[in-house]
Structure 1
Amino acid sequence: MSALPETLDRFNLMLAESVPKIASRLQLGLTHIEIERQVVSFTWTLPQDAFLLYQWHNGLSGKPGKLNLGEKLLRLKGKWHGELTGRENEVRTILENRLIMTKFLPLEYSLAGHRHLKLGRCQIDLLPIFILMEGKKTIYCMMRLEPNNPIIYCANGTKLPPMKVTESFLSTQPQFSRLSNFIAFLTAVFQQGIQSVTPSKGRCISGIDCELESTELEKLYQQYKS
């Protein structure tokens, strides 16, 4: 039996108690039938973990950010997730004075990301679920679309063409053996990071949700990666 439902419930409870503003921006989950309708045209089988995730919540807000036309064009150019910008679509973390913005993608955007990879001749079936952005650096947290091996890769895709997302490349990137491990990792990050948010940094950068040191993050990663 999958440990994921219980792990998601714990994460949900922690968010509701500690950061209700994030919990309130999570979209309602999709039904099994709604998910099947979105993936029916693909040749691969969606792993059960992905079904459970999107039945839990269908990403953050999912509504395009409030941008003017020029900003929209800049963000949409070459970026399949570009319109998902704005406070309602992001979780903001301070990692040693660096601002990291995280998106939890609704399923339709995840599938758009998969199509982007395939159009760019990526030979591996991957489903982007979370995106972390720090300045010009972008990390894609992607599920391997293999029912019996749905590894989560957190891959640095900055200026990396999809065709170069290879087995060799992925083997060098941080990864979690199951989605439940990744969600448990996020739960621990929030539990530790929320307690560390200081008023001074909150004043410098609006709306900080979480704050961590690199050593703490690495320690948690080593604990939950497998």
Structure 2
Amino acid sequence: MPNLLETLTHFETILNQAAPTIATRLQPGLSLSEIEAQTAGFSWKFPSEAYGLYQWHNGLSSKPGKLSLAEKLLRLKGKWHGELSGRENEIHLKLNPSRRMIAKFLPLDYTLSGHRHLKLGRCLIDLLPIAILNDSDTTIYCMMRLDAENPIVYCANGTKLPPMKVTEAFLSTQPQFRNLNDAIAVLAQWFLSETNQKSSINEDDAQLDLGKLAQIYQQHCKSNEPFIL
């Protein structure tokens, strides 16, 4: 089975071929010392896969989006990631003619702010939100469990859900992956299946089939073997 770096490298190759403009928005990775400096004040141990992710790339652009003051206030209201708006910070996924989803791969400082937000809201589980998917109705938080031995990645529907409601019982009902490697492998397989059918992914609105992602995820869930690209 490919290790995380191999899986991330494979995914980046697919992204560079299919959507080079989106790929250029990825920030350079952080050094080990930079990650340790940002995570030093926490009681938990940063999972090795989280190190690998942020040494690969530190999310999409972390510069606040080019919004008017009114737009910024609306985005910031009650949202720790609200200023990460605008094309440089988002991938727009066009799922069908009437539905569009905005995806954010969070830089480490915003990821840690998300963790603090959960803890301040009395979430009893140590979770690291690494990505967010949002359309007009639904917000999905992709969160890694801060457990060095069991770094499960959840894709949880957090729409209007206060942090204190993010419990073990709730997470048990949400889509999950055994680790980040599995999650990235499924994502890479989705992009690959789409680019096999199209010459490229639309640069402004990545037109991807959400139904195909569901099929790939179900394949992952039914298999007792490690997910292999």
Q: TM-score, normalised by structure 1?
A: 0.92
The CA deviation at 1:60 is 0.5
The CA deviation at 1:192 is 2.3
Q: Residue 194 of structure 1 contacts residue 210 of structure 1 at CA under 8 Å; is this kept in 2? A: no
Q: What is aligned with 1:219?
A: 215
Higher mean C-alpha displacement, 183-192 vs 50-59 = 183-192
Alignment of 1:163-202 (within 5 A): 163-194=164-195
Alignment of 1:72-83 (within 5 A): 72-83=72-83
Distance 1:213 1:42, change over 3 A: closer
Distance 1:58 1:175, change over 3 A: same
2:144 alignment partner AA: M
The CA deviation at 1:108 is 0.2
2:209 alignment partner AA: L
Give distance in 2, aligned partners of 1:161 and 1:197: 40
Q: Residue 182 of structure 1 contacts residue 224 of structure 1 at CA under 8 Å; is this kept in 2? A: no
Aligned-residue CA RMSD (Å): 2.1
Give distance in 2, aligned partners of 1:70 and 1:196: 41
Q: Residue 60 of structure 2 contacts residue 106 of structure 2 at CA under 8 Å; is this kept in 1? A: yes
Distance 1:29 1:198, change over 3 A: closer
The CA deviation at 1:210 is 3.0
Give distance in 2, aligned partners of 1:16 and 1:137: 28
Give distance in 2, aligned partners of 1:217 and 1:19: 18
State yes or no: 1:208 paired with 2:205. Answer: yes
The CA deviation at 1:136 is 3.2
2:218 alignment partner AA: Q
Give distance in 2, aligned partners of 1:162 and 1:32: 30
Q: What is aligned with 2:92?
A: 92
Q: Secondary structure at the match of 1:103?
A: strand
The CA deviation at 1:94 is 2.2
Bigger relative contact order, structure 1 or 2, given CA contacts below 8 A and separation 6+?
Answer: 2
Q: Residue 197 of structure 1 contacts residue 208 of structure 1 at CA under 8 Å; is this kept in 2? A: no
2:62 alignment partner AA: G
Give distance in 2, aligned partners of 1:56 and 1:223: 27
Give distance in 1, aligned partners of 2:159 and 2:210: 22
State yes or no: 1:136 paired with 2:137. Answer: yes
Q: What is aligned with 2:120?
A: 119
Q: What is aligned with 1:57?
A: 57
Give distance in 2, aligned partners of 1:213 and 1:50: 26
Structure 1 residues without counterparts, runs of 5 or longer: none
The CA deviation at 1:213 is 4.3
The CA deviation at 1:224 is 3.1
Q: Residue 18 of structure 2 contacts residue 199 of structure 2 at CA under 8 Å; is this kept in 1? A: no
2:22 alignment partner AA: I
Give distance in 2, aligned partners of 1:210 and 1:58: 24
Q: Residue 49 of structure 1 contacts residue 179 of structure 1 at CA under 8 Å; is this kept in 2? A: yes
Q: What is aligned with 1:25?
A: 25
Give distance in 1, aligned partners of 2:121 and 2:148: 23
Identity of aligned residues (%): 58
Give distance in 2, aligned partners of 1:197 and 1:133: 25
Moved over 6 A (4+): none
Distance 1:184 1:197, change over 3 A: same
Q: Deviations over 1:1-27 (max 9, x none)?
A: 981011011011111122111111000
2:115 alignment partner AA: H
Q: TM-score, normalised by structure 2?
A: 0.91
The CA deviation at 1:219 is 1.1
Give distance in 2, aligned partners of 1:213 and 1:123: 32
